[in-house]
Amino acid sequence: MAGENKAIDADILLNIAPEVSEINTRRKLERLKNDLIEGWGLSYYGRATRGFYVSFSMPLDDLVFQAEKKRKTVKEKTRNYRVTEALIKANERLYGKDCK
């Protein structure tokens, strides 16, 4: 991610449990996630993000809210909304309540 090419140490690969090393395809990973969602109550969200959000204790609605709250576009819209509101208040102070 930092633009550096580094080889993975062989020691790290040797220390991975055999149960985990068997999950090496997308289908196996999807099956594992689905089993955790259905059987263990995992909340999982990852729409249009670089990663994904998971929680065993947080309901899915709250998890999605927290993930969406951190999105860049939501932050930009919130900032633009605040600027617009401040402009409206300034115009009201300058020109009275009739002008927006």
Q: Residue 10 has what pLDDT?
A: 61
d(CA 53, CA 47): 10
Share the mean pLDDT of the chain. 83
Q: Is the pLDDT of residue 2 over 50?
A: no
- The structural domains of the chain, with segments of one domain joined by +, span 1-58, 70-100
Contact indicator for 37, 44 with CB cutoff of 8 Å: yes
- Percent residues over pLDDT 70 in the chain: 83
7 pLDDT tier (thresholds 50, 70, 90): low
d(CA 10, CA 24): 17
Give the residue, 88 or 12, on which the prediction is more confident.
Answer: 88
